[in-house]
Amino acid sequence: MDLAQLIAAGLIQKVGPTKDLAEKEFKEADYDIERAREALEAKDYKWATVKAYYAVFHSARGIMFIMGYREKSHFAVGEYLAILSRDGKLESRYVHDFKAAMSARQGADYNYDYSKEKAETVVSLAEEFLDRMEGLKSKL
């Protein structure tokens, strides 16, 4: 989907750049990745997976706020990242990583499908994702 289609479908809304909300999202992302690391250390693989995804989600949402948009669904965040990728502002890997983390969180939450290996993968992916969103943020 392109930006106009996302807006027309009501999946995202133009709100004007809101750096204060963006900063709150990045703080939440930092909080979530710390909780994910703690959960991984405690062998709570479900919670590590869930919190790692939310770190990814909040950092991507922060980018959206900086760029003047608010999502109406988690799906819309992934679609917005895909637009950034098509526009050359973000490597496609991070679109895939967002969707993989979202899928892992859904599997953990709804299908009780989680493991040490999946949790380690999602936490690692989330750490790299957050670093990339911080880099992107500094360029916007």
The domain segmentation of the chain, as residue ranges, is 3-139
Q: Which residue pairs from 93-99 have beta carbons closer than 8 angstroms and sit at least 24 positions apart in sequence?
A: 94/129, 94/132, 97/56, 97/125, 97/128, 97/129, 98/56, 98/57, 98/60, 98/129
Inform me whether the pLDDT recorded for 101 exceeds 90: yes
pLDDT digits (tens, 9 = 90+) for 4-24: 999 999 999 999 889 999 999
Domain 3-139, what architecture?
Up-down Bundle (1.20)
Please report, rounded to a whole number, the percentage of residues in the chain having pLDDT higher than 70. 100
Q: pLDDT value at position 140?
A: 84
Q: pLDDT value at position 114?
A: 96
Average of pLDDT values for 50-77?
97
